């Protein structure tokens, strides 16, 4: 299994040929044929089992049975949830990272890889206007990043509380914060002071009013603002939220997992003003910075605080913490072993240049605006709000939830688009998430025509 024998040679040829073909797909088709587990089992004929199989036979099973059972998130027809659109450069380099078995824990083991990752983190921090001392690491996703950041926020509050006093801390969050924030609070045994606003955008004024009306403000540890809500792409009033957090001595966390990439788009950069005050900031390159899964950038204004919370100590780890250790990514989140998942982004950014990223992000923002205008023109449709980023919410007048589901199912069955319905203020709505720069207005018109 570990030597280069004829079977290995065969696999190198076959798997690389398959990967090459996948890379050359332009556009990537949607696929997504859903089967029951029993159906998959029957088609896989007992793979894997105790006995070996010819690698081409196994690859064939993947190609014919398993791969079509996946909806391609990187297809320009994928407009659901938050799509993906990794660059070819990033995908290629991801393969290289896999082949190189880079253990991204520590400077001792992987200084070259970590240096490259840190250059990318620096570039993101500069876009956000964070100080030169800011730093962090790449983790698997926005959920892991939110959890790691709020662990630090809670610890900082704990240290500030009266010695020996055990208490349950809370975070001020908007009702539109991502589900992972709620999950994080539950895991950390924290509670939410939830702020609801009529237009779903957390403002400094609403935040201040909620804190001032609260009966137990000393239990608050953090303010969580979102730079691009998942459902509607709304950027909270970051400057206002930052000022309130500062006035109340609270940790200011900005979840830009989806929308943070908008920092690279000059047309909307101003909407992010205030982000430079973040104590912690999350941006998922596997969403809108065109990196492959899984890749989330986590930055702290004061990395030493994060290190004091996340650093793992053990006799076998002493060596990674010696004076020659410049930067250990393990110290900035709750992980130890980690893939050097920032490297594909470093490669792609270096090949294409950051300006090309901004241009590609602007395409999705423009497409969302054009789609909103097209929706507003059609009398059978109702635009819910003008998009801030790449997400458009709208209604088909007169439709009940089953009609949205039928429409979405038919679009997928016909391989036109993947657009699972969402909800807005308790009612089912249609939602288009633009991210891939090759999603065309022609496709949008086709999708809307099918609602008539
Ligand atoms: C605003 C926001 N935060 C956090 C997350 C969670 O990120 P992940 O799915 O990478 O864990 C998402 C995912 O869509 C998101 O949109």
Q: What is the pLDDT of residues 348-394, one digit of tens each?
A: 999 999 999 999 999 999 999 999 999 999 999 999 999 999 999 99
Report the chain's mean pLDDT, rounded to a whole number: 97
Which residues, listed in sequence order, are joined to residue 418 by a DSSP beta bridge? 78
pLDDT for 315 equals 96
Residue 357, phi then psi, degrees to nearest 5: -65, -45
Of all residues in the chain, the percent with pLDDT exceeding 70 is 100
**Ligand 1 binding residues, C-beta < 6 A:** 82, 141-143, 146, 178, 180, 226, 230, 255, 257-258, 284, 296
CA neighbor of 327 nearest in space, from 340, 344, 346, 314:
340
Of all residues in the chain, the percent with pLDDT exceeding 90 is 96
Distance CA 271, CA 387 (A): 13
pLDDT for 81 equals 98
Residue 167 scores a pLDDT above 90: no
Contact 84, 437 (CB under 8 A): no
pLDDT for 11 equals 97
**38 C-alpha to center of ligand 1: Å?**
31
pLDDT band at 158, cuts 50/70/90? Answer: very high
Nearest ligand 1 atom, CA 226:
1
Query: How distant, in Å, are the alpha carbons of 168, 180, 189, 204 from that of 150?
Result: 14, 11, 11, 20
Candidate from 150, 174, 178, 291 with most ligand 1 atoms within 8 A of CB, to mutate: 178
Residue ID of nearest Cα to ligand 1 atom 4: 142
Which residues, listed in sequence order, are joined to residue 194 by a DSSP beta bridge? 173
Residue ID of nearest Cα to ligand 1 atom 5: 142
What's the average model confidence in pLDDT over 200-204?
Answer: 98
pLDDT for 381 equals 98
Question: Which of 2-11, 25-34, 276-285, 288-297 is least confident?
Answer: 25-34
Q: What is the pLDDT of residues 221-243, one digit of tens each?
A: 999 999 999 999 999 999 999 99
pLDDT band at 322, cuts 50/70/90? Answer: confident
Give the 3-state secondary structure of residue 224.
strand
Candidate from 143, 144, 185 with most ligand 1 atoms within 8 A of CB, to mutate: 143
CA neighbor of 233 nearest in space, from 347, 369, 96:
369
In this structure, what is the dihedral angle of CA atoms 177, 183, 189, 194, given to the nearest 10 degrees? 20
Q: What is the pLDDT of residues 49-102, one digit of tens each?
A: 999 999 999 999 999 999 999 999 999 999 999 999 999 999 999 999 999 999
Distance CA 136, CA 253 (A): 14
Residue ID of nearest Cα to ligand 1 atom 16: 230
Q: Where are the beta strands (DSSP E) in 100-195?
A: 135-139, 170-174, 191-195
Question: Which of 131-135, 247-251, 293-297, 322-326 is least confident?
Answer: 322-326
Residue 399 scores a pLDDT above 70: yes
Q: How many CB atoms lie within 10 A of CB 205?
A: 12
- Residues in CB range of 440: below 8 A, 6 or more apart: 76
pLDDT band at 323, cuts 50/70/90? Answer: confident
**437 C-alpha to center of ligand 1: Å?**
20
pLDDT band at 162, cuts 50/70/90? Answer: confident
**258 C-alpha to center of ligand 1: Å?**
6
What's the average model confidence in pLDDT over 260-281?
Answer: 98
pLDDT for 266 equals 98
Residue 166 scores a pLDDT above 80: no
């Amino acid at each position: 299994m570990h030597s280069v024998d004829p079977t290995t040679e065969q696999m190198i040829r076959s798997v690389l040929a398959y990967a090459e073909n996948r890379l050359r797909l332009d556009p990537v088709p949607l696929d997504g044929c859903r089967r029951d587990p029993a159906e998959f089992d029957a088609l896989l004929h007992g793979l894997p089992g105790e006995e070996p199989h010819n690698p081409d036979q196994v690859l064939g099973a993947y190609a014919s049975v398993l791969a079509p059972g996946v909806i391609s998130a990187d297809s320009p027809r994928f407009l659901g949830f938050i799509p993906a659109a990794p660059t070819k450069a990033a995908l290629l380099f991801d393969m290289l990272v896999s082949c190189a078995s880079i253990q991204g824990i520590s400077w001792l083991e992987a200084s070259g890889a970590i240096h490259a990752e840190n250059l990318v983190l620096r570039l993101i921090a500069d876009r956000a206007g964070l100080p030169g001392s800011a730093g962090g690491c790449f983790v698997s996703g926005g959920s892991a990043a939110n959890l790691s950041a709020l662990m630090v926020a809670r610890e900082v509050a704990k240290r500030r509380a009266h010695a020996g006093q055990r208490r349950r801390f809370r975070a001020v969050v908007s009702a539109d914060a991502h589900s992972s924030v709620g999950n994080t609070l539950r895991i950390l045994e924290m509670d939410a002071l939830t702020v609801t606003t009529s237009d779903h955008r957390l403002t400094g004024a609403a935040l201040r009013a909620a804190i001032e009306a609260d009966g137990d403000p000393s239990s608050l540890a953090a303010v969580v603002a979102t730079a691009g809500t998942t459902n509607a792409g709304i950027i909270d009033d970051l400057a206002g939220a930052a000022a309130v957090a500062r006035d109340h001595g609270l940790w200011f966390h900005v979840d830009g997992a989806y929308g943070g990439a908008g920092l690279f788009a000059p047309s909307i950069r101003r909407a992010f003003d205030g982000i430079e005050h973040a104590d912690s900031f999350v941006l998922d390159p596997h969403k809108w910075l065109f990196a492959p899964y899984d890749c989330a950038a986590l930055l702290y204004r004061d990395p030493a605080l994060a290190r004091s919370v996340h650093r793992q100590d053990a006799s076998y780890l002493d060596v990674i913490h010696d004076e020659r250790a410049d930067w250990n990514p393990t110290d900035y989140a709750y992980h130890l072993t980690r893939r050097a998942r920032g490297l594909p982004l470093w490669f792609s950014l270096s090949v294409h240049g950051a300006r090309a990223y901004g241009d590609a992000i602007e395409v999705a923002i423009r497409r969302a605006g054009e789609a909103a205008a097209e929706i507003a023109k059609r009398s059978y449709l109702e635009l819910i709000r003008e998009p801030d980023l790449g997400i458009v919410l709208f209604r088909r007048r007169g439709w009940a939830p089953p009609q949205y589901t039928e429409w979405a199912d038919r679009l997928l069955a016909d391989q036109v688009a993947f657009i699972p319905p969402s909800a807005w203020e308790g009612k089912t709505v249609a939602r288009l998430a633009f991210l891939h720069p090759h999603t065309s207005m022609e496709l949008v018109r086709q999708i809307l025509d099918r609602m008539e």
